[in-house]
Structure formats: C-alpha cells, structure tokens
A = this chain, B = another copy of it.
Amino acid sequence: MNANSSRPAPAAAGRPSPTLEDLALAAGVSRSTASRAINGGSKVSAQAQAAVDAAIVALGYTPNRAARSLVTRRAGSVALVIPEPDARVMMDPYFAAVIMGVNEALRETDLQLVLLMSRAGDDSARTIRYLRGGHVDGAIVVSHHRADDWVESLGATGLPTVFIGRPWDTESGIPYVDLDNFEGGRLAARHLSGAGRSKLATIAGPTDMTAAVDRLQGWLQGLREAGLQPGPVIHGDFTTAGGADAAARLLAEAPDVDGIFAASDLMALGVVDTLRQKGRQVPDEVAVVGFDNHSLQAANGLGLTTVAHPMADIAAAAGKLLVDAIANPGELPEPVIYPAELVVRGSSAA
C-alpha cells in the first residue's frame, strides 16, 4: 500500500448504496427473508419474494460483494494467469480469443474475471501468494512455458485450476484443455506429402512449450508414415519476424526444399515473405502450411493452408471446466482435447 494518508473520508461515493437492511425495510420483511429471496429463494413465500423483488428494482439494490465474500468464503472471481513475456509475443493474436472464450463461459455465472499477469522472477511469488490467498475461487493458466514451473504447484494448493494448453507435468493430474497438436502436425505432413512434395522441412516453435513440441512430433510421425526423410527442423519463436529468419536459414541449409510446415501462421507469413524475396514461387516451387488459422492468414493475398486452432472455443471449454471444478471440489475433470483440422488454401495448392 502507498502512503495514501487521506482523511477518514472513505472514498468518493455519491450516495451510499442501499443495504440489505434497507431492502428488507422497504419490502416489509426481515433481513433474513430478504437474503433468502435474493439467493436461492427456496424457502420464501411467493408474496415475500415478490415484495423483495419489487424493492430491489425500486431501490436499485446490489449486494455488497465484500460482505458476501466475507461470510461465504468465496471470492466470486476467477483469475486468468498470463506469464507476461508471452503476452508481448506469441500471445498477441490469441489474447482476444482467450479472454472472450473464458468470458463466455463465465457469462451465466456471477464470477468475475480478474487478470493476473506475472513477470518472470520474484513477481511470480506475488502472483502465487495472491492465488493462494483465497482472493479468487479458481484460476486458468494460459501459455505456460517449461520455466514457469511454479504454476504447477497450484494444483497442490487446492485451488481449482485449469490449464489452457497441456502443461509439462501431467502427472499432477491438473485438468487442461488443448488442441490435438500432435495430430495437427501429422496432418500437415500428410497433406504436403500427399500433394507430391518430398523435400520437406519444418519451422518449429519454441522447445519450452508443449504445443510446439507436440506439433513437431506429429510432423515427424507424419513424415515417417509417408516414408519420407525427417528433413530439416529449424526453431522459431512463433512470430512473423522469427519465421522469416528461420526460412532464410532453412533455404541456406536446404535450397531444394519444396514444402515447409510452419508451426504458427505468423511464422508462415514470414516464411512466405522470405520465399518470395528469394524468388521462390509459392506454392508452385514451395508449398507452405501454417498453424492456427489466424485471421491474418490472408494478409499476403495468397490464402494459407493451415491447421485450425479454435482458441476461443478452447478457452471457453477451460472456463466451463473451471466452473465445474469450483462447483465440485475434489473432483479433477478429465482433460479435453480438441481434434485438429486442416484448412486447405492457396499456399499449398497443387
């Protein structure tokens, strides 16, 4: 807290909100009845219920969340935990989708979404303290890297937690929602080989993210199944610039490549750009497959063949899982895996 040594005046409140007491008075019932009418309404006469309902709109009554929390020992909110470095880079395109999806799942609930961005280093201590402090009823953790091992300790705190994207440690049984990244990579390999390409390479993602690792493994598996050599594997950082760089390195290493799988659409855009600058025709000379079905995939006017990644749906599923987990403490929901689907567009046309 800061040195905000203001006067006893609490805050800038116009007129104090009506309390349950006021409401009960206006409705001609007791606080208890009013409270029951507001909540479950299970043991309230229709008459009393109606009176309270009327008083609510008349007074514009809103329950005081703090007071309610204090006694129910529920915060009425869930946290969306985002390791900050990600937000700056790879998360950018997904930010909106994740937030909207989670929000959608929370819409019918009275749970509020609070954002928790945690820096690397000792700020994570602050974050975890907040999470353990009972300030939220649950947490959704997104985009977690291998180094962010502290988040996995959340499972042991008893705080309902759901991951978006498979965590590194699945032993702890933390529920998560993810795309079938392995299958996505495999589909890319199958598609390119099926289109008659044989000099294949991939621009993979960071090795500290399970999504990147899974896509790569699936890709390699697909190549094996097609009877093709593994081919070059270059690692990028999921960004457009990173994809462009990686493509340049790739062309130096394997000039005869005729098919490239980039593990993100942003990287794929960079790849296409580099290819064009080097004078390679896409898709005639080199076919390109991306990943995510990002809304900007058409930015180069080509249409990008890609693996769909319904992030909003995945986030919504994670939200629902969390809501369930909060409602049924002790039960660990099973992970949910969304199937991967290939979307064929111009960048890999035969």
Contact = CB atoms under 8 A, between A and B. Distances in A.
Interface string A36-74: 000110100000000000000000101111110110111
Interface in A82-139: 84, 87-88, 91-93, 95-96, 99-100, 103, 108-110, 112-117, 129-130, 132-135, 137
A147 interface: no
B299 A13 contact: no
Interface residues of A, number: 78
A110 B1 contact: yes
Nearest to A99: B115
For the complex formed by this chain, how many copies does it contain in all? 2
A103 B95 CA distance: 14
Interface stretch (A185-193, A194-202, A269-277, A284-292): A269-277
A318 to B, nearest CB: 15
Contact of A329 (B1, B69, B80, B137): B1
A343 B15 CA distance: 49
B74 A133 contact: no
Interface string A1-39: 111111000111110010000000000000000000001
Contacts of A87: 96, 99-100
Contacts of A12: 158, 160, 329-330
Given A17-B134, A84-B100, A72 B10 contact: yes
21 contacts: A1-B158, A1-B329, A6-B327, A11-B74, A11-B329, A12-B160, A64-B70, A65-B69, A66-B66, A66-B67, A66-B70, A66-B75, A95-B95, A99-B115, A99-B117, A112-B115, A112-B116, A113-B115, A239-B295, A273-B300, A300-B300
| Interchain residue pairs A-B with the least CB separation, the first 6 | A12-B329, A62-B133, A66-B69, A273-B301, A14-B158, A10-B73
